[in-house]
Amino acid sequence: MKICQYNTPDAVAAAGAQFLFNSAQHAISARNQFTLALSGGQTPWQMLRILAESDLPWDYVKILQVDERVAPNQAKERNLSSLREALCDHIRLPPENLLAMPVVTGDLDAAAAKYANQLANILGNQPVLDVVHLGLGSDGHTASLVPQDSVLETTDRDVDVTGMYCGNRRMTLTYPIINRARDILWLIIGQNKSSMLDRLIKADISIPAGRVNPQRATIFTDVPVVSGQSGM
């Protein structure tokens, strides 16, 4: 695990955008494709606004969702709405290169299986994503891997559906596909995350975030940390 600490949220966002840009260039050069899975929450949008200003060859980029609330299309609480506003509306991304989670359906389990099949069709069985972006909740959740939900024990599916959490059910990538990623980018902003960040760094498996593989993880944060690489 690599830890990069910055003084301000804007500096964290800029560093995260540069990380994604560099990762995309490398993946496109090596495999002619960059697959990026993005979380929602409060932290990624400034990073994505900065990334939108880059000159990436977007034809070679596929954007996936890490998680999504079960809510109607265009609902403000949908991660997809914020993703479009921050990034997709400002770049020349082919429509088919945005893989939105199919949460407007009566059969969520079938929809989760369909999304997993989409990923397998693009990347093969046991798909390996280039970068998975994650945030950290004040309760220790990441993606929509939330405390005390059965989704935490899912090992046979790459996509699953949670129970009710903060007013919505969620569709989420599961630990198996997250932990297979080539790189995991953590973006953690806010002093209220200090205790959970410490537990994440210590790989405390009593919180959902602590069960994410640290070996290919990079943390960008404005929260003071005891150790790690610092960038100002």
Q: Give one DSSP letter per residue of the chain, joined into a string.
A: -EEEE-SSHHHHHHHHHHHHHHHHHHHHHHHS-EEEEE--SSSSHHHHHHHHTS---GGGEEEEESEEES--TT-TT-HHHHHHHHTGGGS---GGGEE----SSS-HHHHHHHHHHHHHHHH-SS---SEEEE---TTS-BTTB-TT-GGGG--S-SEEE---BTTB-EEEE-HHHHHH-SEEEEEE-SGGGHHHHHHHHTT-TTSGGGGS--TTEEEEESS--SSSEE--
Question: In whole angstroms, how far apart are CA 166 and each of 84, 163, 169, 194, 216?
Answer: 23, 10, 8, 22, 30
Q: Residue 227: pLDDT above 90? A: no
**pLDDT (average), residues 130-134:** 99
Among 129, 149, 119, 153, smallest CA distance to 137 is for 149
Q: Where are the domains of the chain?
A: 2-230
Q: What is the pLDDT of residue 25?
A: 98
| Residue 199: CA count within 13 A, CB half-sphere | 19
pLDDT tens digits for range 79-90 = 999 999 999 999
What average pLDDT score do residues 124-129 get?
95
The mean pLDDT value for 168-192 works out to 97
- For residue 207, pLDDT over 70 is answered with yes
pLDDT at 231: 46
Mean pLDDT, the chain, integer: 94
Mean pLDDT, residues 169-185: 98
For the stretch 19-78, pLDDT in tens is 999 999 999 999 999 999 999 988 999 999 999 999 999 999 999 999 999 998 878 889
In angstroms and rounded to an integer, the radius of gyration of the C-alpha atoms of the chain is 16
In this prediction, residue 229 carries a pLDDT of 45
Specify the pTM. 0.94
Give tens-digit pLDDT for 136-175.
999 999 999 999 999 999 999 999 999 998 888 999 999 9
Find out whether 187 and 11 touch, Cβ atoms under 8 Å.
Answer: no
The answer to whether residue 230 scores a pLDDT higher than 80 is: no
Percent of the chain topping pLDDT 90: 89
How crowded is the C-beta side of 88, counted as CA atoms within 13 Å? 20
Compute CA 42 distance to the chain's CA centroid, rounded to the nearest angstrom: 12
Q: Is the pLDDT of residue 232 over 80?
A: no
Render pLDDT for 94-117 as a digit per residue (tens, 0 to 9).
999 999 999 998 899 999 999 999
- The CATH class of 2-230 is alpha beta
